[in-house]
Structure 1
Amino acid sequence: MIEVTVVLENKSGEPLYLQLYNYFKQEIQSGSIKPREMLPSKRKLSLHLGISQNTVETAYQQLLAEGYADSVPRKGIFANEINSDLILKPSKDSSRNLKVLNEESEPYIIDFSHGKIALEHFPFTSWRRLTLQSLYEEQSSFFLNGDIQGELPLREEIAKYVYHSRGVKCSPEQIILGAGTQYLMGLVTMMIGRDAIFSMEDPGYHRTREAFKDQGVNLIPIPLDEDGISMKHLYESKAQITYVTPSHQFPMGMVMPITRRMELLKWAEEKDRYIIEDDYDGEFRYRGKPIPSLQGLDPYGKVIYLGTFSKSLIPSIRINYMVLPMTLLKKYHDHFSLYKQTVSRLHQHTLWNFMKEGHWERHLNKMRTAYRKKQQTLISSIKKHLGDHVRMIGDDSGLHVLVSVQNPMSEKELIEKAREEKVKVYPTSVYYQDLNSNKGPMVLLGFGGLSEHEIEQGILLLKRAWNLY
């Protein structure tokens, strides 16, 4: 077992688990840690470095997820062999390699990514125990293909959960699991038919837009008003199906009021149209009571409901689900039952046990509290340090806010100036079908993966970067 000489900086602004992960990654890439060499146990390393076992666990999980190491049951964690030829190196003639070198030598100290979550709260111990329990209970069966829609016990738990939390009315038979929203969008497109006219919010989730385009459908962007998707423009589009994020419009953040929801349902019922409702982070609402899902309000069977465990559990688990109306469920069974299930049966079984034993509900309550505190820290920091120089958009729910900066800088300049302070912020122009139609420079600030200290530090650095005094 190797000796570890890493020095962790508590005041660097970078989480300890990330410092530890980067140390092991660099040692493995450079060959200082040899292939198949055993890494220290979590207990011994935590004692040696004076940090918690959860910190070590989080660093090791990242190494495992990215393929730098493998876990051998009852033995330990071992370094993998990394082909050094595949690691990008700086080149005198390559601006791309120079950019990589600069980013590696000057890493971001604060990353306002909306895709990261609070890993420090993930229940590693319970999840590990349930994973092992799943293997011991029915080890051989998980080497075979399972139900094409996903394991029935898990679908039963999901059906109960979405009814109690979001008012979604469905049977387990209506639920289909899939590895990611884009995969499920591919199935929906085939069921509806590529000849149909599709539409979606503009701005809207860019990965869904690209999934539609890759399917070759006619996709029409529908602008927003203060309540969400514009009904006037939707009717004018002649679309037969539309994709919306009513519980927390992505990226603008407005919550669609009940009147607009009813108007949208009426639009769907009138000419046998469909609505795709993506409830990607509906668990996290910070003001008022949650508004029922479109699907739960739908008496006509015109809503395709999408949910995910990426925001509320972990992104890498890749467990998404959709609830199909009965008309489309029949079409799915008649024409698409040859498509195999894309989610690991082991992960499905582990998640089923996790939900059945009550861990899911407890974890969700803990995450709501944690994210509410982080969101409040972000908002108060923006008000305190940036004041009237910025305008916040979409701060009622979810894991991000938009910031419109009142200075002469363009979106690109705002991002570049933030980078110079080693802070990563994100563009909003990518969410518009026409990149040039963005209504003024705005950046997206996610907060799920940052500590409250990092959030405030990041805002202070942005104040300096954008010269907001």
Structure 2
Amino acid sequence: MENTVDSGLNKENIPLYMRVYEYYKDLITEGKLSPGARLPSIRRCEKELSVSRTTAEAAYFQLAADGYVVSKPQSGYFVTDVARREKKDGTVRGIKELEPKTDYDFTSLSADRESFDFTLWRRYIKSALRQDERLLSYGEAQGERELREALCKYITEHRNAVCSPDNIVIGAGVQSLLHIICAVLPRSQKVFFGESEFEQGAAVFSDHGFKSCRTKEEADIIYVSPSHINRLGDVMPTSERLRLIRLADRENKLIIEDDYDSEFGYFNRPTPSLQGLDCGRNVIYIGTFSKLLLPSIRLSFMILPDALLGEYEKKAELYNQTASKTEQIALCSFIRDGNLSIRIRKIKRLYTQKMKLLTSALKEVFGDKANIYIGETGFVLRLEIKCAMSEKEIAERALISGVAVKESGTGKKYPQILLLCSSVASEDFLPAAKRLYGSIFGA
């Protein structure tokens, strides 16, 4: 085989393993490597193309994932007839169309099927649907009164909030509530998002003409998620919460508290909400049921300070209620019957157990080649891998092998990746860990 490495790999801004992938793919699609032909061994590929073993393996994984070659144990990689079939059918498969299949997705926020009692929720939905007369109207723009009353009682007891049902506004997701917030605030104000990864929220403010800033001190609006201040699942200490409240009070700033993940603290009791510590003066509190129930149940709520209620009431008639009235009625009964509290305890036990099982699987497979850190809240685990690869390279190689993970971006000595356990079944943790290990260190 003629070696055209220089011309085949001389491409800028393309990962090296993808250049090797393209090199062999071209040989296959051009017929220079026929179906059944054996690819050079990994070691030979290293020497012929002057690349590392890691790069060669990643390229071969990608070729296999895209169907151009098949791996045979103890024999190597062999060319399939996929290129011949494509040529016959007149089809062309690009790299983006041939993304590797993800068998184990540790990046997904989807719920564990075992965590939700569909039969119970279906019963509440059916009960709501029997209220014929109520469902003939659009309902209250601010949200159903009885749900706001139930939420007020619940949030006061569990998150020490200070409010009345009149302070609560219901919406279909956090973004819909942010649109309302933007409508009642002066657009000349600057907003600070800090370490928040809620890009959709930042986009709402930007779309409404608000300017972002880099520090809390120069901001008029401070958006924080105290129970999940970064992607690692860290919690804002009470001392920092109090400092933030004093800053807002002293300099007349508004805090938007996104209480994301407050129910899922593994090691400590939930820290008091900013809204409660502030007695509801300078804080807009936002809560959501995407994790407590299901992501597909689009119900969120916010608590507005008394100072903003007047401005909201002026605009309220311009905003129709975005949340399903049927789901609002069902959720109200669900909360009043005590099922929300029961569910929180259940899923906290479930995910705590899953985190233990995932930790055990990773320890068994990686041994002393990795350190494991568990976030204070959420379903996130941080895996520090003792190797010379970058986080990006590990994530790419893992994805090629069918395991989706997140980069942590911590910039530590060793690369650290994040694994969310919610959507992966417990019985899949061990095979997933083995697949991940193999993508990094080889089989």
Normalising by the smaller structure, the TM-score range is 0.7 to 0.9
Q: Which moved more, 1:404-413 or 1:456-465?
A: 404-413
**Contact 1:389/1:468 (8 A) holds in 2:** no
Partner residue, 1:315: 295
Change (3 A) 1:161 1:198: same
Q: Is 1:99 matched with 2:96?
A: yes
How far apart in 1 are the matches of 2:365 and 2:342? 35
**Contact 1:244/1:275 (8 A) holds in 2:** yes
Q: Is 1:240 matched with 2:239?
A: no
Q: Which moved more, 1:388-397 or 1:352-361?
A: 388-397
How far apart in 2 are the matches of 1:243 and 1:339? 23
Letter in 2 for 1:149: Q
Q: Is 1:123 matched with 2:120?
A: no
SS in 1 for 2:318: coil
Q: Which runs of 5+ in 1 are unaligned?
A: 1-89, 222-232, 430-437
Q: CA deviation at 1:457?
A: 2.6
**Contact 1:281/1:312 (8 A) holds in 2:** no
Q: Which runs of 5+ in 2 are unaligned?
A: 1-88
How far apart in 1 are the matches of 2:251 and 2:286? 22
Q: CA deviation at 1:389?
A: 4.2
SS in 1 for 2:256: strand
Partner residue, 2:129: 135
Instruction: State which of 202, 212, 227 in structure 1 corresponds to 2:205.
Output: 212
Letter in 1 for 2:162: K
Matches within 5 A, 1:48-447: 92-93=91-92, 95=94, 99-100=96-97, 102-103=98-99, 107-136=101-130, 138-202=131-195, 204-221=197-214, 233-235=215-217, 238-299=218-279, 301-387=281-367, 389-392=369-372, 395-428=375-408, 439=411, 442-447=416-421
Letter in 2 for 1:451: A
**Contact 2:232/2:380 (8 A) holds in 1:** no
Letter in 1 for 2:200: R
Q: CA deviation at 1:92?
A: 3.5
Q: Which consecutive segments of 4 or more residues in structure 1 shift more than 6 A?
A: none
How far apart in 2 are the matches of 1:251 and 1:283? 16
**Contact 2:190/2:211 (8 A) holds in 1:** yes
Q: CA deviation at 1:181?
A: 1.3
Letter in 2 for 1:191: V
SS in 2 for 1:234: coil
Q: Name the % identity.
A: 33
Q: Deviations over 1:245-277 (max 9, x none)?
A: 111223132111111111000010012111111
SS in 2 for 1:353: helix
**Contact 2:162/2:279 (8 A) holds in 1:** no
Change (3 A) 1:94 1:464: closer
- The higher radius of gyration belongs to 2
Q: CA deviation at 1:388?
A: 5.1
Change (3 A) 1:348 1:371: same
Q: Which moved more, 1:314-323 or 1:373-382?
A: 373-382
How far apart in 2 are the matches of 1:351 and 1:456? 37
Change (3 A) 1:452 1:135: same
How far apart in 2 are the matches of 1:278 and 1:300? 14
Letter in 1 for 2:216: L
TM-score, with length taken from structure 1? 0.70
How far apart in 2 are the matches of 1:358 and 1:328? 31
Letter in 2 for 1:256: M
**Contact 1:114/1:399 (8 A) holds in 2:** no
How far apart in 1 are the matches of 2:101 and 2:254? 45
TM-score, with length taken from structure 2? 0.74
**Contact 2:141/2:320 (8 A) holds in 1:** yes
